[in-house]
Structure 1
Amino acid sequence: MPSFYCSACAADDLSDQRRMFSQPDTLRPGLACDLSQKASSEHAEYPPLPKDLPDHELPYILPAEVARRDGKKDPALWLVIDEIVYDCTSFVDRHPGGDAVIKNFAGKDCSWQFHKIHNLQKIQNWLPYLRVGRTKGVRNPYPEPKAGFRKGF
């Protein structure tokens, strides 16, 4: 499968070499750059952070601030995955699974659902560009099914 090279990512200080994307149907060349640049211009208060910044060094964001970024009262759409806050505002229209799931979880935690659906190896090149902080105490509106739960019984 062909890879796509993002020259802007390679040239900026956020790069750890080159950004390669291998899924042309879901990720196009420069996606990480586009997301990072658009998010930083839209939400200067919480700009995207360097990809190589460790999670424990991310700024702390209060749960109430995360909840406010639900796309309703505030146009921003933030999600929490494993206590890391992601600004998905510029990504919502590009999400391969559609915008409904991001809008449903905006301002909330979606950790267990995210891990059940996504392959981390395929998204690790661009997901860190959406990080804006870390938090604690943001709740997932849905309890995780017990082990052994199966669809359709």
Structure 2
Amino acid sequence: MGWMNRKSHPGTRDNLIAVQIDWHNTKDAPSVDFVEDTNDPKSFKQVPIETSNDDLPFIDASIVIAAGKVDLLWVIIDDIIYDCTDFVEEHPGGSRVLESFRSANCSWQFWRFHGEKDLEEFGKPLRIGRTTGIENKFKEPPRFVGLRKLWGDD
């Protein structure tokens, strides 16, 4: 089965694992030499800018969490994952802000300081996928406090 090991294989040898299956009837048995390991956070790369958010690859929350343990700086804004590993030093608010949201959801915090234009210009090239199930670790405080009567009991 040399054709499966050709150099033009879409994956790299770093993110491939060997699979061995014993079949009783080898005549009809399917055969796979290598399978891409999608549990490795480093196997996910930034997608082309023209890719819509709906067409981004789905990345399980467990892989997003694991990315923070292998020196990747992924942040989640509205369930879209952004790889800020190379962008962190360019962030106008400083690296500390992004570091505090490593592998975490920072949706409401992002929208408090940024707009759609910022996400389009700086965020779109950093997208690597989408996910679900990663909650923001901070409760969003109310934006506006209502007025009370100064002389009221409440």
Q: Please indicate the TM-score interval, normalised by the length of the shorter structure.
A: 0.5 to 0.7
* Conservation of the 8 A alpha-carbon contact between 2:80 and 2:130: yes
Q: TM-score, normalised by structure 2?
A: 0.64
Deviations 1:86-110 (A, max 9, x none): 0000001110000011100010000
Q: Which ranges in structure 1 are unaligned for 5 or more consecutive residues?
A: 1-42
**Distance in 1 (alpha carbons) for counterparts of 2:97 and 2:118:** 19
State the identity as a percent. Answer: 36
Amino acid at match of 1:59: P
Shift of 1:135: 0.3
Question: Pick from 64, 70, 73: which aligns with 1:77?
Answer: 73
Tell me, yes or no, if structure 1 residue 125 matches structure 2 residue 114.
no
| Long gaps (5+) in structure 2 | 1-40, 147-154
Q: Which residue is 1:93 aligned to?
A: 89
Matches within 5 A, 1:47-86: 47-70=45-68, 73-86=69-82
SS of the counterpart of 2:121? Answer: coil
What residue is the counterpart of 2:130 in the other structure? Answer: 134
Aligned residues: 106
> Could you give the per-residue CA deviations for residues 18-60 of structure 1, whole angstroms, max 9, x where no partner exists?
xxxxxxxxxxxxxxxxxxxxxxxxx761111011111111000
Report which of the two structures shows the higher radius of gyration computed on alpha carbons: 2
Q: Secondary structure at the match of 1:145?
A: coil
Residues in 2 aligned to 1:129 and 1:122: alpha-carbon distance in whole angstroms: 11
Mapped to 2, the partners of 1:44 and 1:104 lie a distance apart of 20
Corresponding position of 1:110: 106
Other structure's SS at 1:124 match: helix
What TM-score does the superposition give when structure 1 sets the normalisation length?
Answer: 0.64
How many Å separate the matches in 2 of 1:44 and 1:107? 13
Partners of 2:132 and 2:106 in 1: how far apart? 13
1:69–1:149 CA distance, 2 compared to 1 (3 A):
farther
